[in-house]
Amino acid sequence: MRLTYFLNFEQNKSIRTNMQHIVIIGNGIAGITTARHIRKNGSDDAITVISAETDYFFSRTALMYIYMGHMKYDNIKPYEDWFWTKNKIDLKRAFVEKVDVRHKKLLLHGGEQLAYDQLVLATGSKPNKLGWPGQNLKAVQGLYSYQDLESMEHYSKDLKKAVIVGGGLIGIEMAEMFLSRNIPVTFLIREDSFWSNVLPQEESKMISRHMHEHHIDLRTSTELKEIVGDANGRVRAVITTEGDEIPCEFVGLTVGVSPNIAFIKDSEIETNRGILVDPYLATNIEGVYAAGDCAEFRQPNGERKPIEQVWYTGRMMGEALGRTLAGKKTAYRPGHWFNSAKFLDIEYQTYGWVFPDPKEHEADFYWEHKSGKVSLRLRWDKNTEKLTGVNNFGMRLRHHAFDKWLKDGRTVSYVLAHFRDALFDPEFFKRHEQAIVDQFNLENNTHIQLKKKSWQRILALVS
Amino acid sequence: MSQPDPSLSIANPEPKDTDALQKLGLALAGLGTLVLFLSWGNLPIPHTLGLILAIGGILGGISLYSYRFYMKQPPGIKNNGVWFKSLINRGVLGWIVGVILTGFYVLLYWYPEMIGFKPEGNEGLVAMFDPLSQFFKSTSASQWFVYGTLYTLAIVSLGVKFLFKYRHSTYQIKRTLSVMAAQLLMAYLIPEILAGLNYNDVTTQEGEYLGYYNTDLKNTWPLDYDFFYDWQLDAMQEEAYQPMGVLFLIIGIAMFLLVTPILTYYVGKRWYCSWVCGCGGLAETAGDPFRHLSSKKLSAWKLERWLIHGVMVFVFIMTAATVYGYFWNTGEVFGLNIYSTFQQPYGFLIGATFSGVIGVGFYPMLGNRVWCRFGCPMAGYMGIIQRFKSRFRITTNGGQCISCGNCSTYCEQGIDVRWYAQRGQNIVRASCVGCGVCSSVCPRGVLNLENGPEDKRYDMPPIIIGNDSIQIDV
Ligand SMILES: Cc1cc2nc3c(=O)[nH]c(=O)nc-3n(C[C@H](O)[C@H](O)[C@H](O)COP(=O)(O)OP(=O)(O)OC[C@H]3O[C@@H](n4cnc5c(N)ncnc54)[C@H](O)[C@@H]3O)c2cc1C
Ligand code: SF4
Ligand code: SF4
């Protein structure tokens, strides 16, 4: 049946006699986007989305805002509850203990079984614990799930000091969360400044300065050695590799995440660190797919890592897989890399690739405003002059512009001359493009002149 | 999940050390408010002193407090603890303030004598404002003068607070300075000065009352629903008021016929709703802490479209009847009494109850833009232009949205901004007042209020940019 289904995918779907049951494990961005795009592309197959975490899809990226009191759980649900019934997407709250690919069924916690025709694994990640002594004490945890958030809330009562280990995006979010409740934070990072394994030095320094401004006690080049508990089994201090003992009642472990795939380890689905997939997000087992944080590409896409653990990639995989499952076989072909984050008060966006150090064939330009909170970095190919990446802090840039310019292989001079088309800061904000171009001209002996913003060109960027 | 107990403290949980200056600010503002209440209770406070204490205390106190409070923190979004506070989270304090505000409006509209307004000689709260009214126009205060003064005080003092709170955003700063100035000058000082110069509201020495017309330039029909009422049209043509009277008549007509559609075409209805309007001014300043209470449900949007356009049709019919009655001097249209069939119900239901009592009194329950969203006919009129014939849109920045929900949560108009942003679609909605807060609170730089060509203003992208999984033929 499946075969004819795929062979006929071009034809009217009404010739299909059998409705299939598509089961998606995981109601995160990858699983939910898959489900939505199956519907969007006209399939009326039965869809069940299973999750053990919450009844409804929520935005994981917004968990911090619940703790900080910016939003409630209801606010971080991107769709109202009626949306799922209306789109005939069944939601099921259950934990999948085993996948039986031979009989095409799932074993749920409690003994229930569920049969599927097509299976999507979109099970996300879990926080890493690197085997430290004391890592299983009470009030030692990562931040990934809704339950993690509840636990953080629980341990925040009478919390006098928190230590966060590992300087990535989730770490700084956790720090911001505690600051919002006036809980002092000590931040241990292995590197010599914040996130310097991803950010070039100047940007990394900028964020480190900003953390100090917010009174975060940032301890660079410092690692965790041991976590010490009290009589009740709750953390009371951490000991660093330097031998310092820091008293604290909470330890946040934010040293990265790994695919959450323990429950399929003894199935026939092939895994490495994640679930191995081809460009169509198909696993080695026919009719079983994986998407989002838990998927690992056998062949990485360009400079991208084989496991992509960001919101946007989960969404794009879901878009592609949804089409495939609706009968329009579609490969996951991510375009140019983009990402964004906010470090306390400083926003960050990036398009293309900006590595901490320029690659051998790359040239580099960096401009920073005297406030120390706005910056721009450009990287381009020395030989062809083509732009390869941009980092912007404290300044917003138009995704469409950079996506198109990178696609069209525009040179750095072209990009700077047309920079006004890409500005995305709100009206009346102080503009920096002239200062940027002046510095660039000075450093590179060029005579680039800024062009006026043109709506005609901007609209043409929207491909 | 277990939320922290909503505390009764207005300032919880916030930076812990309220320093001496902050406390002084709070004390001053408290004192000013107390003086208002005491004078209402007829406590014999010398009027001028009381007035200075009340206005100075509230303005100075709030400014001082917010200066210290916000300047101690780095500039940025300040929404910590919004959902934990009783006052702005439908808690006990919220209800208390709601009841007080609602009660105040009821007294103001229907029982002004209970706040001290007595034609034979004011008492209580209204009497305290006599010196100020005397100063401007040599008459004793009316309840409306008191209301206008307090309203302006609220916009200016809480506007100052807003300026500190959003000091990182030039858009918010300019917009707020604009609503503050519009209220202070156009709605308050200019009208009072014109009255003082005998261009309005004059009783001659013979005791003849020459009439009153609205001299708040920005208060445009149809929001100003009585613009075409006979007493207003007569007053504007009153000889003693020339040339001001006719000037206001001409400007008033030009405002809704030309200025409004043209500006709305170029920049969206925001030029009015969040840059100029008095109702918008109060909503954006005093009402700002309540913005997250607006309902984002689809059902609320449906209700909104019925209500706001219903009110708009009502005001059109009422005004048509009024104008007919004025020129043909019938007092009736199709056998219906114009006053009792049209004007009186509109004035009672919409003018007073909806825009005043519910519109402001219910801030702590329904958010700060209840009137602007569900009722205002001016917003309805401009909304239609904004939706169908305007260069304004909120541009979504490609695929950068993480569906976090900050934009929708803090949209005072209850627009589910995220619904569009997460699909990479621009936001073109009749109700958007262009406050720009969605753009400010977005942590990923996704939203930008822009004026650009109408073409492609709200195209729906087939797939979000950044994903080349399908190629689109262009
Ligand atoms: C605090 C935080 C902030 C972040 N901020 C950003 C950001 O700003 N930008 C960005 O790009 N990315 C961000 N990320 C990363 C991003 O959220 C993830 O990449 C993304 O949510 C992964 O989506 P997913 O659909 O693959 O998996 P998930 O969202 O993890 O969904 C998987 C679901 O499957 C369920 N599940 C797993 N196994 C089973 C089972 N056996 N039975 C039943 N259910 C199961 C899980 O409980 C979970 O609900 C952030 C992550 C965190 C934790
Ligand atoms: S959509 Fe944005 S700008 Fe428009 S009213 Fe809502 S928050 Fe304000
Ligand atoms: S605030 Fe920004 S990132 Fe969050 S949902 Fe709205 S547009 Fe998306």
- pLDDT given for residue B296 in this prediction: 97
pLDDT for position B184: 98
Mean per-residue pLDDT, A435-455: 98
Ligand 3 atom 4, closest CA = B404
How large is the average pLDDT for residues A429-442?
A: 98
Q: In what order do the strands lie in the sheet with A346-352?
A: A338-343, A346-352, A387-393, A375-381, A362-368
Q: List chain B domain ranges.
A: 217-390, 392-472
Confidence (pLDDT) at A5: 37
Reduced to 3 states (helix: H, G, I; strand: E, B; else coil), residue B117 is coil
CA of A125 to the centre of ligand 1 (A): 6
Q: How far is the CA of A154 from the centre of ligand 3 (A)?
A: 28
Q: Which domains does chain A have, with CATH numbers?
A: 9-126+258-325 (3.50.50.60), 140-255 (3.50.50.60), 338-462 (3.30.390)
Indicate whether B299 pLDDT > 80.
yes
Mean pLDDT value across residues A173-179:
98
Q: What's residue B153's pLDDT?
A: 98
Q: Which residue would you say has higher pLDDT here, A1 or A375? A: A375
**DSSP letters along B287-333, please?**
TGGGGGGS---HHHHHHHHHHHHHHHHHHHHHHHHHHHHHHH--SEE
CATH C-level class of B392-472: alpha beta
Pocket of ligand 1 from Cβ distances under 6 Å: A 25-31, 50-53, 60-61, 63-64, 95-96, 122-125, 143-144, 169-170, 173, 260, 263, 292-293, 309-312, 314, 341; B 402
Give the span between the Cα atoms of A187 and A166, in whole angstroms: 8
pLDDT in tens, A334-364: 999 999 999 999 999 999 999 999 999 999 9
pLDDT of residue B9: 39
Give the mean pLDDT of A295-314: 97
Residue of A334 and B14 predicted with greater confidence: A334
pLDDT at B27: 97
Of B82, B170, B402, the CB nearest to A61: B402
Determine whether the interchain pair B170/A429 forms a contact, defined as Cβ–Cβ distance below 8 Å.
yes
Closest CA–CA distance from residue A62 to any residue of chain B (Å) = 5
- Span A93-118, mean pLDDT? 97
Over residues B193-206, the mean pLDDT reads 92
- pLDDT above 90 (res B7): no
Structure tokens at A389: 């990446």
Whole-number Å distance between alpha carbons of B466 and B468: 6
**pLDDT-based confidence at residue B456 (cuts at 50, 70, 90):** confident
Tell which residue, B6, B443, B76, has the closest CA to residue A173. Answer: B443
Q: Looking at residue B1, what is its pLDDT?
A: 46
| Distance, CA of B80 to CA of B407 (rounded, Å) | 15
Residue keyed to tokens 């200062």: A435
Q: How many CB atoms lie within 10 A of CB B378?
A: 27
Q: What is the pLDDT averaged over residues B455-461?
A: 81
Span B11-23, mean pLDDT?
72
Distance, in Å, from the CA atom of A290 to the CA atom of A283, rounded to the nearest integer, reads: 7
pLDDT at B2: 42
Predicted pLDDT at A342: 98
Q: Helix or strand or coil: residue B462? A: coil
Option in A180, A334, A347 nearest B468 (CB): A334
| Residues A48-79: tens digit of each pLDDT | 999 999 999 999 999 999 999 999 999 999 99
The residue whose CA is least distant from atom 8 of ligand 2 is B435
**Can you name the residues that pair with A49 across neighbouring β-strands?**
A24, A91
The pLDDT tens digits for B170-183 are 999 999 999 999 99
- The ipTM assigned to this model is 0.95
Q: How many CB atoms lie within 10 A of CB B170?
A: 15
pLDDT greater than 80 at residue B14 = no
Task: Report pLDDT for A17.
Answer: 52
To test the ligand 3 pocket, which listed residue (B397, B403, B432) has its Cβ within 8 A of the most ligand atoms? B403
Integer Cα distance of B40 and B114 in angstroms: 9
Percent over 70 (pLDDT), chain A: 96
Say yes or no to pLDDT of A11 above 60. Answer: no
Q: Which residues contact B120 (CB under 8 A, 6 or more apart)?
A: none
pLDDT bin (cut points 50, 70, 90) of residue A260 is very high
A329 to A233, A279, A296: CA distances (angstroms): 53, 11, 19
Distance from CA of B169 to the nearest CA of A (A): 7
Give the pLDDT confidence score for residue A9 in this predicted structure: 41
| Mutation to test the B interface, candidates A40, A63, A72, A317, most B Cβ within 10 Å | A72
pLDDT of B5 higher than 70: no
Residue B228 has pLDDT above 70, yes or no: yes
Is residue B406 less than 8 Å (CB to CB) from chain A?
A: yes
| Alpha helices (H) along B41-169 | 47-71, 92-110, 124-128, 130-137, 143-165
What local confidence, expressed as pLDDT, does residue A4 receive?
39
Average pLDDT, chain B: 93
Strands A185-188 and A217-219, how do they pair? parallel
CB A107 within 8 A of CB A278: no
Q: Assess whether pLDDT exceeds 90 at residue A29.
A: yes
pLDDT category of residue A302 using cuts at 50, 70 and 90: very high
B208 contacts chain A (CB < 8 A): no
**What value does the mean pLDDT take over residues B45-49?**
94
Is residue B473 over pLDDT 60?
A: no
Determine which of A83, A340, A343, A392 to mutate to test the interface with B (most B C-beta atoms within 10 Å): A340
Question: How much of chain B exceeds pLDDT 90, in percent?
Answer: 88
Shortest CB distance from A71 goes to which of B169, B409, B419? B409
What pLDDT does residue B461 have?
A: 75
Indicate the pLDDT class of residue B167, thresholds 50, 70 and 90: very high
What does the pLDDT read at residue B472? 55
